[in-house]
């Protein structure tokens, strides 16, 4: 059976996001299910915006 799922399908899925505060300030966010999908931001709002843009 051939898998007909497209990239758009996988990008539309909901992935858990881990957010960690950094000692020097700001936050790091990553999606462990998507290797290399990591970003940083100065505020929680900024890091959430960044990780969602990074996923697309």
For residue 3, pLDDT over 90 is answered with no
Total structural domains within the chain: 1
CB atoms within 10 A of CB 19: 13
* pLDDT tens string 5-43: 898 898 888 999 999 999 999 999 999 998 989 999 999
CB atoms within 10 A of CB 40: 15
Find, among 29, 20, 24, the residue nearest to 48 by Cα: 29
pTM value is: 0.75
Radius of gyration of the chain (CA): 14
State the Cα–Cα distance between residues 22 and 14, nearest whole angstrom. Answer: 25
Domain annotation covers residue 13: yes
Domain annotation covers residue 1: no
Question: Given this model, what pLDDT does residue 49 score?
Answer: 93
State the Cα–Cα distance between residues 18 and 21, nearest whole angstrom. Answer: 10
Range of the domain at 21: 7-55
Domain annotation covers residue 2: no
């Amino acid at each position: 059976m051939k898998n007909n799922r497209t990239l758009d399908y996988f990008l539309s899925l909901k992935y858990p996001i881990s957010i960690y505060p950094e000692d020097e300030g700001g936050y790091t966010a990553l999606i462990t299910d998507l290797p290399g999908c990591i970003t940083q931001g100065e505020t929680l709002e900024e890091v959430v915006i960044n990780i969602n843009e990074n996923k697309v």
